[in-house]
Amino acid sequence: MQGRPRAHTFTVEDLVAEVLAGRLRIPKFQRPLKWQQRDVLKLLDSIYCGYPIGTLLLWQRPAEADRLVLGSLAIDAPARTDAWWVVDGQQRLLALTRALAGSGDAREPFAAYFDLHTQQFIRPPRDTPAPHQVPVTVALDAERLMEWLLDPPLPAGERQLGIRLGKRLREFQVPAYIVETDDERAVREIFRRANDTGKRMDDSDVFNALYSAGGSPASLREVAAQLASPRLGTLDEGTLLRMLLANRGTDLSKDRIPDLTQEQAHDAMSELARSARATLRFLVEDAGIPHLSLLPYQQPLYALSRFFQRHPEPHPRSRELLARWLWRGALTGAHNGNAISTREMLAAVDGHEHDSVQALLHGLPPAPDPNFDLGGFAFSHARSKIQLLALLELQPLDLRTGMSVLADPLEADDGSDGDGDEVAAPSDSEGRIKRLVRPILPHPPDLAGSLANRAIHPGVRTGLARTIIACPHPAWLLTHAISPDAAQALRAGDELGFLSLRQLDLLLRLEDFTARRAAWDEPDFPPVDALRMVLA
């Protein structure tokens, strides 16, 4: 029966041979390889010990000629009508192929050796391998393995262990199911059920594995790469999937993986790329969010993506009101992401631009009493991000040079954490932004966890407090919300007085900043053109 999977068993030797021959294809759209070398060593050890390593799911369908690059391997795969596409098992196949058929040198991070003395798989030795350390790249070919064991000749016992190693790796049986059907839905259903138990893949990984859209973008990963910006940051694939579902009007709390054809998946991802790009532009240009890591809550991304998918070129007044909506939701906590509020928020966005904006605004609670808690600062907290955005609006300057701290927030600095200690530079843009938020006093007398003891400034080996004391320009200090009175208190050695004065300044700053962003007292009427249309 077409569509019913047929069981098949491969040896490891056969599997690797089919990959090298270009029949066994690992789609480029599948999830990136998350395994590390220790995972590969465990996989090889499981095979050597005869432990099960799971079942593969393959989809038989045509494949065009292609050049496949798998780590240090480059394979010129011919066109075939009966290629086997890997639906489930990508990580294991890539790891096996790269470990057993790769170059085995430093270019291949999954290279491995087998120590005949300890009978364990190890990382490649830093120095010249000992004679009893066998590279696994020779194990798949019995003749090549024997040559290695005999040149120079190893003791008989070690040769026997080496022969057993090759035999166990080559002949290990891997079960697989091969689906021969043109029915994409049948393959997706099999894949869903196969991943319903055990360690679940991320929903975005499942989506990428299910939908080889053909063309660009072909996956959520590709959409993320297209949108990535060193300054603004990157939308992760899980967030992008929820934005895609929001575009389609799907309940985010229920149907996490949509049931689409390949054509529908391609259209959905193309629409997602456009609406997500418009959303990012709105965050920077209208809402004043310079980096995704500073967005107080993630929930607005879903409604914004849905809105810009339906209204690609909204009226400037709509953008202004949407910015108020974003800030009011952040300040009231209405955008905290619970299922009910998310459902109501997405339901507010329909085919009419101005009605959608008004419905979003009306769905928010009234303005809260101004009460800004500056204690317990933490980068992950929404209120702390709002506080940082208020400081960033001041365009803080480097107190040593007068140059803008924001000129290149991702540029590496001197590596100091403000106390003179060296710290490792984070590799991600969010981490580098966090690294600019530094303590002023290393051992404050009070208010240690308050924003009053933090500034957005590159690291200084002598500490920020000394830099503030030495700064002769009051205008530069004001870009960090440090008034002349607060600076004078610090110069006089009154650290508690400095923190108390700066805290009062920050509270006034936050009150003004949030009032302007949320525009609580301003009317929220739609544009005049829309009102005229209603009256007409």
| Local confidence pLDDT in tens for the 536 residues of the chain | 455 678 889 999 999 999 999 999 877 644 455 678 888 999 999 999 998 898 888 888 888 898 888 878 889 999 999 999 888 888 889 889 999 998 877 667 888 999 999 999 998 888 888 889 999 999 888 899 999 899 888 899 999 999 999 999 999 999 998 888 777 667 666 666 665 544 455 677 767 766 765 567 878 888 998 998 877 888 998 899 999 999 998 877 765 677 777 788 889 999 999 999 999 999 999 999 998 989 999 999 999 999 999 999 999 999 999 999 999 999 999 998 888 888 899 999 988 999 999 999 999 999 887 777 777 778 888 988 999 999 999 999 999 999 998 765 444 343 444 333 322 333 345 566 778 888 999 887 776 678 889 999 988 888 899 999 999 999 999 999 999 999 999 999 999 999 999 999 999 999 999 999 999 999 999 987 765 554 44
Domain ranges (residues) in the chain: 6-180, 202-362, 382-518
Q: Read out DSSP for 317-354?
A: HHHHHHHHHHHHHHHHTTTS--HHHHHHHHHH--S-HH
List helix spans (H) across 195-258: 203-210, 220-227, 237-247
514, amino acid identity: T
43, amino acid identity: L
495-518 vs 316-332: helix crossing angle, rounded to 10: 140
CB 7 within 8 A of CB 175: yes
Which long-range contacts link 515-522 to residues 24+ away (Cβ below 8 Å)? 515/370, 517/288, 517/323, 517/324, 517/327, 518/324, 518/327, 518/328, 518/331, 518/367, 519/324, 520/328, 520/367, 522/324
CA distance 418 to 489: 20
